[in-house]
Amino acid sequence: MFQLQHIEALLEKFWEGDTTLEEERMLKAYFASGQVDDSLKQYAPFFQVLRQEQAVELQRPPVVTEIRPVTYNWKPWLAAASVALLLSAGWWWHSRPNVDVPYTAEVPRSTTPVTQPEAPVQPPTAQLASETPVQSTGFFRRKINAHKPSPTPQLNEEEEKAMQEIKAALALVSSKLKKGRQEAVKGTEHLETMDKVFKKKRDGEG
Amino acid sequence: MNWTIFHEQVFPIRHKLYRFALRITGSVHEAEDVVQEVLEKVWKTSADHSATVQNWEAWCMTLTRNRSLDKTRSQSLRRTAPLENLSERRTDTLNPAEAAESNDLTENIKRMMQELPEKQRLVMHLRDIEELTYDEIAETLSITLDQVKINLHRARKTIRTMILERERISG
């Protein structure tokens, strides 16, 4: 049973906003019990309104499609793509021709005079290989002295001529650009001078 | 969105969302639309975002509040509309005894509650009707705990003053 003094105290706390949810539920239960003391009856309609409000329900049932939303799970695909990329890169690295030993096939065997006695000539491949030792460590093969500059290719006459023409053309372009830049600097200086003149004139008028 | 979570945590609070939307929009149809839109939005939430949601109820209430305010502001609904709609719907839920008890005072209280400033009205609704904790109210309305308490105190004080004033006049 509800004790009037307790309810009155709770009610005071309620109006001050100091009650807990549990105390508020107790008050609601008291005013819903139908045994409200006459001294508190003026508050009964307020709690009745709260009860009515709590009973309001949605009449139109919401419609939500049961089809699962389309979600793109891209993580497995990303992992698979990464693995494939890694394997491709490894295969390419492993199977690529060793670009650091390109001259083995170009060594002109024909330059060797046929008339010379057949001395035990070492195969050029072996010779070059000894100059540029290759470290073979299973999957990876790296040339040890990879930092060595590659031999400068010899140019024939036509190539030399073409190179000279290209150089001349580039020199011409460079000189034009230089001249243009100088002109631009001159123009800027000219504009600045004019600006100063106008400013002085304006100040003088002011 | 996980179907289990949706059915166990979101769908059961549809009435609560509806009452909240109704409190803000004051229109039964608008409130129903709001609930529909909110539930759809929640259902279409990505799995990644779902994992970050701690309190589904508070999040849904916040969505409802935002959507309801958008609708109210965009359509400039009149303040008198809520009272008519609320009263209309409530009569369906009254039992004969309550209907008999219903009098001018309850109507006045309803009107007074609806005419409270927005924050006071929403705080009072969430506390006295939906029985949310202060923390949940603060999270739903994006206000501080102190603001929740102040607004609740002012709202109840206004209602109490009105009740006592009416009692004094009639008594």
Tens of pLDDT along B94-127? 455 555 545 678 888 988 998 999 999 999 999 9
Predicted local confidence at residue B95, as pLDDT: 52
Partner residues linked to A134 by β-bridges: A143
User: Is residue A131 included in any domain, yes or no?
Assistant: no
Task: Give the helix/strand (H/E) hosting A136.
Answer: strand A134-137
Measured between CA atoms, how close is B149 to chain A, in angstroms? 7
Report the range of poorest mean pLDDT among A116-125, B10-19, B143-152: A116-125
Task: Identify the CA nearest to B130 among candidates B27, B38, B18.
Answer: B18
B116 touches chain A (CB under 8 A): no
Residue range A182-197: average pLDDT? 88
pLDDT tens digits along B64-82: 999 999 988 877 644 444 4
Residues of chain B with C-beta less than 8 angstroms from the C-beta of A62: 11, 14, 35-36, 39-40
Do the domain assignments include residue A128? no
- End of a domain among A55, A70, A86? A55
Average pLDDT value over all residues in chain B: 83
Residues of B with Cβ-Cβ distance to A45 under 8 angstroms? 101, 103, 105-106, 109, 163
Q: Could you tell me if residue A100 is inside a domain?
A: no
Cβ within 8 Å, pair A56-B90:
yes
B103 touches chain A (CB under 8 A): yes
| Cross-chain Cβ contact A58/B35 below 8 Å | yes
Asked whether the predicted pLDDT for residue A121 surpasses 80, the reply is no
What's the total number of domains in chain A? 2
User: Cβ separation of B153 and A17 shorter than 8 Å?
Assistant: yes
Q: Taking CB atoms and an 8 Å cutoff, what residues of chain A touch B82?
A: none
For A136-166, what is each residue's pLDDT tens digit? 444 444 444 445 555 556 668 888 889 899 9
Q: Which residue has the higher pLDDT, A132 or B12?
A: B12
Q: Tell me if chain A has a CB within 8 Å of the CB of B161.
A: no
Q: Which residues of chain B lie closer than 8 angstroms to A54, CB-CB?
A: 19, 129
Residue B103 confidence (pLDDT):
63
ipTM of the complex: 0.79
Torsion angle of alpha carbons A66, A68, A70, A73, nearest 10°? 180
How far apart CA A69 and CA B93 sit, in angstroms, is 36
Q: CB contact, 8 Å: B67 with chain A?
A: no
- Does residue A70 fall inside a structural domain? no
B43 interfaces chain A, CB cutoff of 8 Å: yes
Compute the CA torsion angle A36, A42, A45, A50 (nearest 10 deg). -80
Instruction: Tell me whether residue A182 is in a domain.
Output: yes
Find the CB nearest A62 among B1, B39, B110: B39
Instruction: Name which of B148, B156, B155, B112 is nearest B132 in CA terms.
Output: B148
Q: Please give the residue range of the domain that contains residue A43.
A: 4-55
Structural domain includes residue A20: yes
**Domain contains A171:** yes
In a domain, A195, yes or no: yes
- Residue A56 CB contacts under 8 Å (≥ 6 apart), including other chains: B15, B18, B19, B22, B86, B89, B90, B93
Mean pLDDT of chain A: 77
Domains of chain B in sequence order: 1-81 (1.10.1740.10), 94-171 (1.10.10.10)
Nearest residue in chain B measured CA to CA from A27: B128
Averaged pLDDT, B42-60: 84
Contacts of A33 in chain B (CB under 8 A): none
